[in-house]
Amino acid sequence: MTNQTVPELQHRTVLLEEAVEALHIDGERANGVYVDGTFGRGGHSRRILERLGPQGRLIAFDKDPQAIATASTIGDARFQIVHDSFATLSDALNARGIAQVDGILLDLGISSPQVDEAARGFSFRLDGPLDMRMDTTRGMSAAEWLATEAEQTIGKVIKDYGEERFAFQIAKAITARRTVAPISTTRQLAEIVAHAVKTREKGKDPATRTFQAIRIYINKELEELEIGLDAAFEKLAPHGRLAVISFHSLEDRIVKRFMASKANAPQPDRRLPIRAVDLPQPQLKLLAKMKPSDAEVAGNPRARSAIMRVAQRTTVALGSSASSALPGSAP
């Protein structure tokens, strides 16, 4: 069967109120321009639209055709959807004549409908075609990649992106199996991994790390995150907010390092005769690191690994200081 779904796990937007609050959409800022880099099923976008003033604008991005179909039902002149990755943010905004924006939100998780629809191939719990593409209209599927890639490369991907200690045993099992028959379904891959993985953490399926690794690689998630963060930073207006929700350590590490690199200006040798006013100044101010509440995790177990980091663009280019952090939060 390839049309299985898990109806009890409908998509619930993680950190919905906290993320939109972090963008600080009020006063004059309510008529600004905002970006939802990962529309998903529109939870964050709809809440942002509720906060926007009549002159405000929201540009949303998503690679998933189903997300684009959902976005097309939003009949609001202030809203536009772009069928592409947020890595294309800079070009997309330039094409719309937008030089700067007041806030950018990136929710890096995959949506429950993607996981719960077997035909998408993201889940090892449901048997379906081994696809894993966020955008099913372009690119190579996971099955096609596994059919042609070298064993060493498969092992490296599973090790680096899945942090899987049995990565090369899994890769060896995959390449041995494909000489007998194509690996075309999620169940086939999950069974191969289960036989190759000797031990696993309690309560975690042996296939978890392998499926994560292949999904990240197929969709170029980490590369696009790095490109998207650079583009977001360049497009943020002074006092503009950047909020990023990540769901695993690889993503969060990239976000944390990026924000820290912009918040900690490199300092020259103290022996050099440089005036304090001429010293490099931070370009971002770290505002918050948040996790879902116990209540949210109880109602939505998939939120348990989420971490949101929030930063604000300083006014270094204008020669003035950055504004205050979110009330009640700490970096």
Please state the residue numbers annotated as binding site for S-adenosyl-L-methionine: 42-44, 62, 86, 107, 114
Query: 159-162: long-range contacts (C-beta < 8 A, 24 or more apart)?
Result: 159/213, 160/213, 161/212, 161/213, 161/214, 161/216, 161/217, 161/222, 161/250, 162/209, 162/210, 162/211, 162/212, 162/213, 162/214, 162/216
- Chain position carrying tokens 């094409």: 95
Tokens representing 125? 């719990």
Taking alpha carbons only, the member of 78, 82, 77, 73 closest to residue 38 is: 82
Please, what is the Cα angle at 229 between 223 and 234, to 5 degrees?
A: 135
Q: Which residues are annotated as a binding site?
A: 42-44, 62, 86, 107, 114
**How many C-beta neighbours within 10 Å does residue 7 have?**
6
CB 39 within 8 A of CB 92: no
Q: Which helix (H) or strand (E) holds 253?
A: helix 249-263
Phi, psi at 80, each rounded to 5°: -135, 145
